[in-house]
Structure 1
């Protein structure tokens, strides 16, 4: 396979929009979704990628009827393409600051549940202050773990996530909210009448939790592992669902962040006597890449949030 020649790259008239097309195709896993994201026709994206590969003298993408994959040259080119686009955005930001406004694409990742953080309100403030900033908001299947990885890879500019231990390497983390974790059991459970339980009291129980990678799951898994207790998670619920409804039906017990409101009927909430577990919501961005002005503006608005009372 042919590698990208350094001298040829220096001479190539690579256009920023072609870099944007390439990154979008990779992140969206296809030309159709990339075109929709960029608000251009698919033929323009395809032509742009062909032009980019012609200028570089290397094939960047494997194209099949089912999937799009990176070649070895594409793998090498992707981080530099992202950094070039980020540098171009920083140049635009510098000019925009002199005119009192910001623009460009802001890629935001978020958990399904962010506690009392009013993310829609922060995004509304951002839109009113900087109407030319285009917001792209999404989640990741693996929760906070996948969000952190996406930040490190440069796929996201900023994210609201949960940290279940030391901050991941390569990220700048700012806490937004912290809640103590508790145990939920069905009303008829033998432990339901107690105010607090020890982790050992839960040995042998069937657990309901979010999938691996979610912040609360990571915290609970680590606590039981550190205590030498094997925990069996028999039912994993989606990020937008709360385990409490499943606990109420007697399908298991759950370790969750303490809700601000009283739990649902049919469920008892117990404190954890021998472990100080906290679910922390944070705003995060890459330590390795300079943040865009729009990302910094949103971070400031999130840090200025006023906790709500309905979550």
Structure 2
């Protein structure tokens, strides 16, 4: 058993699935699955119950998770003892995000805070257009958002996450692949303008030159899932987000799947040591 195995197991538990853990760790799903199986063989017991639609911790996994987290934290602290400069990093980093970006960013920032307790990390939420303007005006150091080409103009950007969008449907809806045109004709549960998922879905239908019917707008993932669960419509979500609701059937798109692309945007030129530390943690 090694630290990498523990890191992967913790990611699967926190993300609720192997695909989502792979996205978080910037690796492929097969690597995550292979590593977890090797760890389970080493421990002599399964850590996860795997079904078609969900991954859940076994009792052994529930006991293992806090110990693994403690071991990873201890390893970080041990590294800091031989690199005291890590704890002397000071300064302010202001990060802009869109609503609905999910928890991966929050966990990355939490790890950064543990590594650099003197660093002042501030997070601001706003729609993509306002975030990009704030970056240009230097009131935000960097933005993490779903951005179209126009919004990226004049900024230094890089891709942080890329995955397929899928359609989740009420439990008794018809199974099987669906086209984007068929989804556009359905009643849909969507998110408020300015949300990251809304921006990705808007872009997908706009690129396909399709209008869609939004039955209801939600401002919370759990609320959106509940609306779908009660038959008010389907909901287009990133694949890793759909995995959080294993009781809702997932329909993939029959043609080339629209995608969820999260980008980091910042001004050109040098950045402060505080912002550089954030960029390193985000990968």
8 Å contact from structure 1 (residues 176, 280) kept in 2 = yes
Counting only pairs closer than 5 Å after superposition, residues 180-259 of structure 1 correspond to structure 2 as 180-189=164-173, 192-194=174-176, 196-238=177-219, 241=222, 243-259=224-240
Structure 1 gap ranges (5+) = 1-97, 304-311
* CA positional deviation for 1:158: 1.9
Q: Residue 268 of structure 1 is aligned with which of 237, 249, 268?
A: 249
8 Å contact from structure 1 (residues 111, 239) kept in 2 = no
Q: Residue 139 of structure 1 is aligned with which of 106, 116, 125?
A: 125
1:179 correspondence with 2:163: yes
Question: CA 1:263–1:127 in 2, change beyond 3 Å: closer, same or farther?
Answer: closer
Question: CA 1:145–1:240 in 2, change beyond 3 Å: closer, same or farther?
Answer: farther
Aligned to 2:106: 119
Question: CA 1:128–1:225 in 2, change beyond 3 Å: closer, same or farther?
Answer: closer
**Secondary structure at the counterpart of residue 272 of structure 1:** coil
Counting only pairs closer than 5 Å after superposition, residues 1-311 of structure 1 correspond to structure 2 as 101-115=88-102, 117-129=104-116, 131-140=117-126, 142=127, 144-164=128-148, 168-189=152-173, 192-194=174-176, 196-238=177-219, 241=222, 243-259=224-240, 262=243, 264=245, 266-287=247-268, 290-303=270-283
**Secondary structure at the counterpart of residue 257 of structure 2:** coil
Question: CA 1:291–1:150 in 2, change beyond 3 Å: closer, same or farther?
Answer: same
Question: Which runs of structure 1 show a deviation greater than 6 angstroms over 4 or more consecutive aligned residues?
Answer: none
> Distance between the aligned counterparts of 2:217 and 2:121, measured in 1?
31
Residues 111-136 of structure 1: per-residue CA shift (max 9 Å, x gap): 3444563533434334533x432222
* CA positional deviation for 1:275: 3.4
* CA positional deviation for 1:248: 1.0
* CA positional deviation for 1:146: 2.9
> Distance between the aligned counterparts of 1:242 and 1:109, measured in 2?
24
* CA positional deviation for 1:258: 0.6
Aligned to 1:94: none
**Secondary structure at the counterpart of residue 236 of structure 2:** strand
Residues 189-227 of structure 1: per-residue CA shift (max 9 Å, x gap): 2xx222x11122224322111222333323322332343
Structure 2 gap ranges (5+) = 1-84
> Distance between the aligned counterparts of 1:174 and 1:247, measured in 2?
33
Q: TM-score, structure 2 length as denominator?
A: 0.60
Q: TM-score, structure 1 length as denominator?
A: 0.55
> Distance between the aligned counterparts of 1:244 and 1:99, measured in 2?
42
8 Å contact from structure 1 (residues 177, 280) kept in 2 = yes
Residues 57-82 of structure 1: per-residue CA shift (max 9 Å, x gap): xxxxxxxxxxxxxxxxxxxxxxxxxx
Question: CA 1:178–1:249 in 2, change beyond 3 Å: closer, same or farther?
Answer: same
Task: Give the greater-gyration-radius structure (CA).
Answer: 1
